[in-house]
Amino acid sequence: MISLAAAVKYPEMLEGLVMMSLPDPNLEKEAIPAFLYPLVATIKNVVANPLLVKSVFHFIRQPSMLRRGATLAYADPKAITDELIDILAKPTQDRGAANALTALVIAQNNPNYSPDVKKLLSSLTIPTLMIWGDKDKIIPPKLASEIVRHNENIQLHTLKNVGQFTHYECPEQINKVILDWIESVNS
């Protein structure tokens, strides 16, 4: 989101943009029936309670919980190694990590937080490569075609049998896709 916003605001500073999937905080409005908005807002306000977030954080940062969560992000269970769990767990042990998560949850609950992704995408003027894993369980791959529809400058590359963290699951393939795209843009 930060890269997208920067590319729209300062296109003269960039020759192109590469994104790996793209969260759209406004999608829940499209996915949830309007009559459920008040209920969802109430649940989000309860969940955004700092005491609850900190309590849940101390539970979910346990290696066993991180391992379970990683199964949502990775298509290949073999990619979820002890080394990966150690890498994921390390930042959660930092002083202030619970406060950072709390601030993020509260900010996401702020109605002024959510950028208009479709407007940003429509405003892109530079060549853009969107890479998406076809097994992404966090941000559904069907959103990729919706994103590409907003701007002809966006080229979509879908990776087979890859989840949310494409750059971790298949770094060599990602590097090749990006290098090939850079070459095609510069030709």
CA count, 13 A, side-chain hemisphere, 76: 14
DSSP H/E element including 33 = none
DSSP-derived 3-state class of residue 179: helix
Give the up-direction half-sphere exposure of residue 176: CA atoms within 13 A in the CB hemisphere.
5
Domain boundaries, the chain: 1-26+115-187, 28-113
Rounded Cα gap, residues 185 and 143, in angstroms: 24
Fold of 1-26+115-187: Rossmann fold (3.40.50)
Count of beta carbons in the 10 Å neighbourhood of residue 163: 23
**pLDDT for res 98:** 87
How much is the pTM?
0.78
pLDDT, one tens digit per residue, over 13-44 is 999 999 998 876 666 566 567 777 777 777 77
Torsion angle of C-alpha atoms 146, 148, 150, 152, degrees rounded to 10:
-160
Half-sphere exposure of 119 (CA within 13 A, CB side): 7
Span 112-164, pLDDT tens digits: 666 788 888 889 999 999 999 999 988 888 888 877 888 888 999 999 999 99
